[in-house]
Amino acid sequence: MTKKEKAKYIIDELERLYPTTPIPLSHYSNYTLLVAVLLSAQSTDKKVNEISPFLFERADNPYDMAELEVTEIKELIKQIGLSNSKAKAIKGLSELLVSKHGGEVPESFEELEALPGVGHKTASVVMSQAFGHPAFPVDTHIHRLMTRWGLTSGKNVVETEKDAKRLFPKSLWNKLHLQIIFYGREYSPARNPKAEVDFITSKLRK
């Protein structure tokens, strides 16, 4: 199969499996989505969803969060990996949102990536899921599967994102990146995937 044929097969199968793609991180505003995505780095969505309600009960907007001490934020998120650096980032980005953006999450990659703790992947999730702008956030699942499917060299996530954007229609990016994540979690784990379960990979490797 050519890469274009593989991409078509993937699109069709993932649409069949996941016709709807709810955002896996619990949130109820652009700000809570931004914080939840930041928390999810090197952690699981399940763990973030377990602890984020306690954080957002204490502060669910940048004005209230900016008033908290870093130590208090860290205590609320201590079960999450990298809690110290994430607490500092949440405090810092909240202060910047208040001082520079009127308390609103900015709607541009440049402004998002200028916030503490917000890298390109986090900005991509916010741009796609909060604002509906075409983006293709690449997490470990997508990087792994794009490599397994022979659609990228797998050198780094930057190259993987470029290859994904080149292969898949722009109109599908926001939904497709979630569909790939869902498939990776359910059918193609990082370790010892079973060929009879991971049917897309088995098909594409023939």
The structure's pTM equals 0.91
pLDDT at residue 93 in the model: 98
DSSP letter, residue 47: H
Half-sphere exposure of 3 (CA within 13 A, CB side): 13
Mean pLDDT of 19-35: 96
Give the tens place of pLDDT for each residue, 78-113: 999 899 999 999 999 999 999 999 999 999 999 999
pLDDT at residue 191 in the model: 86
Tell whether the model's pLDDT for residue 42 goes beyond 90: no
Q: Indicate which residue of 139, 165, 175, 203 is catalytic.
A: 139
Annotated catalytic, 139?
A: yes
Tell whether the model's pLDDT for residue 195 goes beyond 90: no
Give the tens place of pLDDT for each residue, 142-189: 999 999 999 998 789 999 999 999 999 999 999 999 999 999 999 998
Annotated catalytic, 121?
A: yes
What residue ranges define each of the domains in the chain, with the CATH number in brackets? Answer: 3-22+135-204 (1.10.1670.10), 30-130 (1.10.340.30)
- Note the helical H segments in 59-172: 62-67, 70-76, 83-101, 109-113, 120-125, 140-148, 157-167
Confidence of residue 192 (pLDDT cuts 50, 70, 90): confident
Q: Indicate which residue of 45, 86, 121, 198 is catalytic.
A: 121
